[in-house]
Amino acid sequence: MDDKTIRTIQISKEVSFWANIANDKLDKFKYPTRVGAGVFIVIFNGYCNLSVDLSNYSVNKSSVVTLLANSIIQITDYSNDFDAYYIVFPSEFVRNINLIQSALPFLTEIKNNPILELEETSKTLMLEFCVVFRKIYEKQKEKPIPEIIESLLMSMLWGIATAYKARSIIKDKEVYTSHKVELYRKLLPLIIENYKTDRAISFYADKLCVSPKYLSAIIKDVSGKKMSELISEVVILDIKSQLKNTDETISQISDSLNFPNPSFFCKYFKKHTGMTPKDYRYSD
């Protein structure tokens, strides 16, 4: 994806810590938004419903949300008392301190399951950690010492990775991950990476080393949706984001997604949404 497809949050080049975000800022996520950084969201009050890379979740004060860079997030609903701690770290910072290597074995698990439900003891420890992180972060603002923030982030990432490891062991014991589910999990990142240029089922079947017929049957069995529906969902998600978050013309959006012409693009969008692109752009 490039910057013209999904609106990207602009953040500083350093680690940032937020809490008590006002409703008007949360409302900016009512449309699909690509997060150009890594984000930990530790909910300490209320609840919200959100989608991450097309999957829907309901999160509450027992939840930690881990977003990897380039994740697409949309907040569809939240309670009046919703509040959370947000620790945001740019990709450049992560690469510099090699944080990702700490969680490398669990990146696929985190990508596929960004919401981590914590049991009571772990939840208490996570909230206490955030309180300490916040105090140190605020003291570091004037004369920052990167090594201190680095150590704090490393500790948090290790803690989250350990929680994912524990959950993975439990799931393995329950024979949670079948071949069918694993195939589905591999498919979604492929679609998100290639939907602008490749929308044929055969393309994805080749990538996954299975036949188109077999892939279609498996995806239907796991998700209840046809392959074509999954691909269309990603395409429509992108179109909606561009219509709401950019000033690109219909023709420019059509070109960016490799539609043969604007007329076909408009028919495609109306078929899947019941609205014309123009009507959607100016809708509430």
Q: Domains in the chain, please, with CATH?
A: 7-173 (2.60.120.280), 179-281 (1.10.10.60)
Query: Average model confidence (pLDDT) for the chain?
Result: 79
Residue 68: both structure tokens together:
């990897």
Cβ-contact 34, 6 below 8 angstroms: yes
> End-to-end CA distance of the chain, in Å?
26
pLDDT > 70? residue 193: yes
Separation of alpha carbons 204 and 206, rounded Å: 5
Average confidence (pLDDT) over 18-36: 79
Q: Cα angle at 158 between 157 and 163, to 5 degrees?
A: 100
> Helices marked H in 174-195 — which ranges?
179-194
Please give the pLDDT value at position 175: 40
pLDDT digit string (tens) for 255-284? Answer: 999 999 999 999 999 999 999 999 988 887
The pLDDT score that the predictor gives to residue 223 is 81
Over residues 244-254, the pLDDT tens digits come to 878 899 999 99
pLDDT at 108: 61
Q: What is the pLDDT of residue 100?
A: 47
What integer pLDDT is reported at residue 11 of this predicted model? Answer: 39
At 23, the pLDDT band (50, 70, 90 cuts) reads confident
pLDDT over threshold 70, residue 10:
no
pLDDT at 224 over 70: yes
Decide: 106 and 165 in contact? Cβ < 8 Å.
Answer: yes
Per the DSSP assignment, residues forming a β-bridge with 90 are 37
* Sequence-ordered list of residues with C-beta below 8 angstroms from that of 32, at least 6 positions apart, any chain: 6, 7, 72, 73, 74, 237, 238, 240, 241
Tens-place pLDDT, residues 102-148: 454 556 667 778 898 888 888 888 888 888 888 888 887 777 677 78
Per DSSP, the three-state class of 234 is: helix
Alpha carbon 175 to chain centroid distance?
26
Residue 205 vs residues 185, 187, 188: alpha-carbon distances, Å = 14, 9, 12
> Which run of H or of E encompasses 196?
none
How many helices (H) and strands (E) the chain has is answered by 13, 10
Report pTM: 0.61
Name the most confidently modeled range: 161-175, 176-190, 205-219: 205-219
Q: Is the Cβ–Cβ distance between 6 and 33 less than 8 Å?
A: yes
Q: How far apart are CA 119 and CA 135, in angstroms?
A: 25
Note the pLDDT of residue 172: 44
Contacts for 233 with CB less than 8 Å, ≥ 6 apart? 54
* Model confidence at 159: pLDDT above 70: yes
pLDDT at 106: 58
Cα 186-188-190 angle, rounded to 5 deg: 75
pLDDT at residue number 204:
94
pLDDT of 188 > 60? The answer is yes
Q: HSE on the CB side for 63, CA within 13 Å?
A: 21
Residue 174 has pLDDT above 60, yes or no: no
**Mean pLDDT along residues 213-240:** 88
Residue 1: the pLDDT is 34
Please check the confidence at residue 2 and state whether its pLDDT lies above 70: no
